[in-house]
Amino acid sequence: MKYKIDTLNAGTYYAKRWLTLFDGGSDQWLYVACDGLAYVFIDINDLPANCGRDATSRWAASVSVVDLLSVSPETMASAMEGCGCEDELDFKVAEDRLRLAEMLHSVGSKSPMWNQDGGKVTFDNYGNCEQDYDENCPAFRRLRKEAREYAEAELLQGDEQRNELLDNKVVNAIGMTAREYGNGGQGLWEGLRRIKAQGDAATPQQQLVLGMYQKAENTLAAGPVPEDLRS
pLDDT, position 113: 98
pLDDT, position 149: 98
* Strand partners of residue 59: 46, 118
Summary count for the chain: helices (H), strands (E): 9, 8
Residue 83 pLDDT level (bands cut at 50, 70, 90): very high
Evaluate whether 99 touches 107 at the Cβ level (below 8 Å): no
Q: Which of 82-86, 172-176, 217-221, 223-227 has the lowest mean pLDDT?
A: 217-221
* SS3 state of residue 231: coil
Evaluate whether 111 touches 166 at the Cβ level (below 8 Å): yes
Stretch 50-55: mean pLDDT, rounded? 90
Residue 8 has pLDDT above 70, yes or no: no
**Cα–Cα distance measured from residue 44 to residue 65, given in angstroms and rounded to the nearest whole number:** 15
Spatial CA neighbour of 169 closest among 108, 102, 110, 220? 110
Residue 97 pLDDT level (bands cut at 50, 70, 90): very high
Q: Which of 42-46, 99-103, 132-136 has the lowest mean pLDDT?
A: 132-136
**Cα–Cα distance measured from residue 191 to residue 148, given in angstroms and rounded to the nearest whole number:** 29
Residue 45 pLDDT level (bands cut at 50, 70, 90): very high
Question: For 62, phi and psi rounded to 5 degrees?
Answer: -145, 155
Q: What is the pTM of this model?
A: 0.87
pLDDT, position 220: 62
Q: What is the pLDDT of residues 160-219, one digit of tens each?
A: 999 999 999 999 888 889 999 998 777 788 888 888 888 888 888 888 888 888 887 777
Label the pairing between strands 218-219 and 28-35.
unpaired
pLDDT, position 9: 64
Residue 116 pLDDT level (bands cut at 50, 70, 90): very high
Q: How many other C-beta atoms can be found within 10 angstroms of the C-beta atom of residue 23?
A: 14
Residue 6 has pLDDT above 90, yes or no: no
Name residues whose C-beta falls within 8 Å of residue 82's C-beta, 6 or more positions apart in sequence.
103, 107
Evaluate whether 167 touches 111 at the Cβ level (below 8 Å): no
Parse the chain into domains and list their residue ranges.
Answer: 13-168, 183-230
* Strand partners of residue 32: 19, 41
**Cα–Cα distance measured from residue 152 to residue 3, given in angstroms and rounded to the nearest whole number:** 9
Spatial CA neighbour of 216 closest among 230, 202, 231, 198? 230
